[in-house]
Amino acid sequence: MQWLLRFSGFFSAALIMIILSPSLQSFPPAEAIRSSSPFLDHRFSFRSSPAFRNADECRSTTHSSVCDPSLVHVAITLDVDYLRGSIAAVHSVLQHSFCPENVFFHFLTSHETRNLESLVKSTFPNLKFKLYTFDDRIVRPLISTSVRQALEQPLNYARNYLASLLEPCVRRVIYFDSDLILVDDIAKLWNTKLGYKTIGAPEYCHANFTKYFTPVFWSQPRYSGTFKNRKPCYFNTGVMVIDLVKWRAQGYTRRIERWMEIQRKERIYELGSLPPFLLVFAGHVAPIEHRWNQHGLGGDNVRGSCRDLHPGPVSLLHWSGSGKPWLRLDARNACPLDSLWAPYDLYVHTTRR
């Protein structure tokens, strides 16, 4: 059955529902692990993940250092409200990786969740990872109100600071949101050719790009002129391959911050951390196949209604939007595609005494 899981990314959405779900349900029972953090106690209990080992053909890591050049680097946030999603995302990456021991996870946490290390070690005993405490005082003065409160959380902006948070020896990183799962080998995404571009992401040029900015933005040439001589397309920042060497050299963090400063004064957009990325990078993105971000499964930002997959093959499913699969499953009001997320869920429901 393992070979079937390795190649699951090549199947259509219909075959994923038929093949993946039953096969992943066959995980052996594992011991439940409680968080040792007082802040998280009574809220989170996870099963220990099965051990995932490299295939014989994998290039062995020479040491456990984050600077090992054979590693695949993945950054993801560990936020209390999305912790269950993050754990499932990590689980899915390991499950479908041909060389899972060569994946290094960079977990970004806030001050409130800095005690998560023991939980991660207990859930994934063999995982290569490091926790980074993101000082939200850096970005909090720059955050403006958004259409959804979750988009205003400082940790949502930690992706802007990966180049300074991660070690200088980390030259490339894949950034993932917490509400997604992979059904394909992450090495394929890692090996994306960026050319002279700094970031790579699936682009959606058919989307109405103008809606991401307010009339104030479009009415003032000093703002709208930023897209002159560019062909900007929408892209979702929940899945990005980032060249950190180019990012650091070009000072992109500061460029994003400048647009956030303007937003505080002029209200040029409505949607959280996405628009500054569009302002800086849209039209300068290395295109990646759409299979690597089947996004929007969480519905819109208000109702969280059910959505279908986009046509074509699937390598990654992303519940962007307000509807999260773990919440809908717990409420017994799940959408059909939420069943694809469930097999990766390591959460153990417990009753507090």
Residues 6+ apart with CB under 8 A from 332: none
Q: Is 125 within the bounds of a domain? A: yes
Q: Residue 85 domain-assigned?
A: yes
Would 15 be classed as within a structural domain?
A: no
pLDDT exceeds 50 at position 197: yes
Per-residue pLDDT tens over the stretch 268-310: 998 788 999 999 999 999 999 999 999 999 987 666 689 898 8
> Is 160 domain-assigned?
yes
> pLDDT-derived band of residue 351, with 50, 70 and 90 as boundaries?
low
Kindly report the CATH number assigned to the domain that includes residue 167: 3.90.550.10
The range of the structural domain enclosing residue 97 comes to 72-344
Q: Is residue 314 part of a domain?
A: yes
- Asked, for residue 235, whether it belongs to a domain, the answer is yes
The 3-state DSSP class for residue 299 equals coil
Instruction: Give the pLDDT of residue 30.
Output: 38
Q: Which helix (H) or strand (E) holds 60?
A: none
Q: Which tens digit of pLDDT belongs to each residue from 222-253? A: 999 999 999 999 999 999 999 999 999 999 99
The per-residue pLDDT for range 132-164, each reduced to its tens digit, is 999 999 999 998 876 556 567 899 999 999 999
What band does 7 get if pLDDT is binned at 50, 70 and 90? very low
The answer to whether position 155 is within a domain reads yes
**Confidence label for 350 from pLDDT (cuts 50, 70 and 90):** confident
Q: What is the pLDDT of residue 10?
A: 40
Amino acid at residue number 27: F
Q: What is the tally of structural domains in the chain? A: 1
180 exposed, middle or buried (CB, 10 Å; 0-12, 13-18, 19+)?
buried
Structural domain includes residue 118:
yes
